[in-house]
Amino acid sequence: MSQQDTICAIATAQGGAIGVIRISGPQAIAATTSIFHPASGKPLNQYAAYKLVFGKIHSPEGEIIDEVLVSLFRAPHSYTGEDSVEISCHGSSYILQKVIHLLIANGCRLAEPGEYTQRAFLNGKMDLSQAEAVADLIASSSAATHRLAMNQMRGGFSKELSQLRDKLLHLTSLMELELDFSDHEELEFADRSELTQIANDIELTVSRLANSFSVGNAIKNGVPVAIIGETNAGKSTLLNALLNEEKAIVSDIHGTTRDVIEDTINLQGITFRFIDTAGIRQTTDVVESIGIERTYQKMNQAEIILWMIDSTNSQDAETLKSEILPICEGKQLIILFNKADKLTSEMRQALSQSFSDIETHKLFLSAKTRDGLNELETLLVKTAALPEVSQNDVIVTNIRHYEALTRALESIHRVQDGLQMQLSGDFVSQDLRECLYHLAEIVGGEIGVEEVLGNIFKHFCIGK
């Protein structure tokens, strides 16, 4: 892969009425000029940037391929920071492929996946976290994920990290000065209390960003909801009702669901990832036993657990309390008394009484008739308790960013401990550099010796 190449690719999905081809690189304008004939007669390479030009694409034999609109961008004012052209033509796959072949014949090559955004990153148009946000924006499936991705792509997260970086650079510079002039007791650049305060401010910010990942991950990937219970309690029927499709096999035969079935739906702007699990029971079937083991694994991974109970045969559910409740500690548990359409008011009261020792949400419903489904959806949204997200909120959604922040947090904790224990400045400086390194992993790039020295001479000039 070379940035000296000029690349081209179809930028729109197949099947639309309009197709867009993007060309980027040093020969983007020249390659397009060779196949594009503007209606005005003025060659494309003579137009100023930000012009939309109408004309025709011609083959070398003079055949008209299509009437098109060409958008012209000149470096560095383009998405990639290079000369770029976008050709808007009709969405025919034949037309699009023909134009691509003509561009390749005139010196372009097909772009590799993500290469336009990679060039934007390499040319300084965006940092690494912004580049990753492009993929998140394309994949956004709800208002919340769209807002988070848009904020990150616009640099909201990068701004937070930039402010952190400035504080760390300031702290590092103070520590370097302390080391360089340790023989001069009469010089004092900052006492340990000031250094500690700066470190505490950094720790608070890094901690806040790292702690936001649990919310960000739920917004981006969906709140994991495990549907559990004994066999034939109605778990698969409930999943089908929530998804409004026949996703899971429903049968009166016990042990029909032997593996985990997952799918997502959007409720009031929140994505939920529902997990239908194998029914919990004693069995000698090897395959079903594996499915039940996976049920317990999914319970550990879930944030919300829907415990389905067959209201007409709740004795088995009573025996499951000792197995299920310990796993539900620290999670949101909702008990669903299914097949409630077959219950009398006296039976409902008896069921409520038998499970009154469990302080959690309880709901009577019928997954088969869909009675109580709206109440369940409202309860799920309430239980998820995700905050309203605006485009100004900085919430971490990327696991790579979270891991880097976690390592940075460990480093800044060591800095705080070192300052408190009055450790030598060189030990503290090493932990500071580690913190800087881990934050730099997120956006790409790191603070070098030259930048630290430049900051010292700019802000802490000795003598003059």
DSSP 269-283: TEEEEEEE-PPP---
**In the chain, which residues fall in CATH 3.30.1360.120?**
6-122
- Neighbouring-strand partners of residue 361: 334
Q: How confident is the model at residue 328 (pLDDT cuts 50, 70, 90)?
A: confident
The dihedral through the CA atoms of 108, 114, 117, 121 has a sign that is negative
Q: Which one-letter amino acid corresponds to residue 312?
A: T
Phi, psi of 223 (to 5 degrees): -75, 120
Predicted local confidence at residue 253, as pLDDT: 42
**For residues 208 and 400, what is the distance between their CA atoms, to the nearest angstrom?**
16
> Which of 9, 202, 1 has the alpha carbon at shortest distance from 100?
9
Inter-CA distances, 290 with 238, 328, 426, 433, Å: 22, 21, 54, 47
Question: Looking at the predicted structure, is the pLDDT value of residue 125 above 70?
Answer: yes
For 229, left (φ over 0), alpha (ψ -120 to 50), or beta?
A: left
Percent of the chain at pLDDT > 70 equals 85
Return the CATH number of the domain spanning residue range 6-122: 3.30.1360.120
Q: What CATH superfamily is the domain 156-212+395-459?
A: tRNA modification GTPase MnmE domain 2 (1.20.120.430)
Instruction: List, as own/partner pairs, every contact residues 260-268 make where C-beta atoms lie below 8 angstroms and the sequence separation is at least 24, other chains included.
Output: 260/291, 260/294, 260/295, 260/298, 261/236, 263/239, 264/141, 264/222, 266/141, 266/142, 267/377, 267/380, 267/381, 268/377, 268/381
Enter the DSSP assignment of 22. E
Residue-by-residue DSSP string for 195-210: HHHHHHHHHHHHHHHH
**In the chain, which residues fall in CATH 3.40.50.300?**
220-384
Looking at per-residue confidence, does 255 or 1 come out higher? 1
pLDDT per position as a tens digit, 186-203: 444 556 787 888 889 999
Which has the minimum average pLDDT: 68-82, 103-117, 296-310?
296-310
Which has the minimum average pLDDT: 139-153, 194-208, 369-383, 406-420?
139-153
Predicted local confidence at residue 63, as pLDDT: 92
Over residues 401-405, mean pLDDT: 93
Please give the class, per CATH, of domain 220-384.
alpha beta
Q: How confident is the model at residue 459 (pLDDT cuts 50, 70, 90)?
A: very low
**For residues 5 and 441, what is the distance between their CA atoms, to the nearest angstrom?**
28
Q: Which one-letter amino acid corresponds to residue 260?
A: V
Q: How confident is the model at residue 260 (pLDDT cuts 50, 70, 90)?
A: low
Which has the minimum average pLDDT: 141-150, 156-165, 313-322, 341-350?
313-322
Range among 167-171, 340-344, 401-405 with highest mean pLDDT value: 401-405
Predicted local confidence at residue 282, as pLDDT: 52
Question: Looking at the predicted structure, is the pLDDT value of residue 318 above 90?
Answer: no
**In the chain, which residues fall in CATH 1.20.120.430?**
156-212+395-459
Strands, sheet with 361-364, edge to edge from the N-terminal-most edge strand: 261-267, 270-276, 223-229, 304-310, 332-338, 361-364
Over residues 387-394, mean pLDDT: 78
Would you call 368 exposed, middle or buried from its count of C-beta atoms within 10 A (0-12, 13-18, 19+)? middle
Q: Give the pTM.
A: 0.74
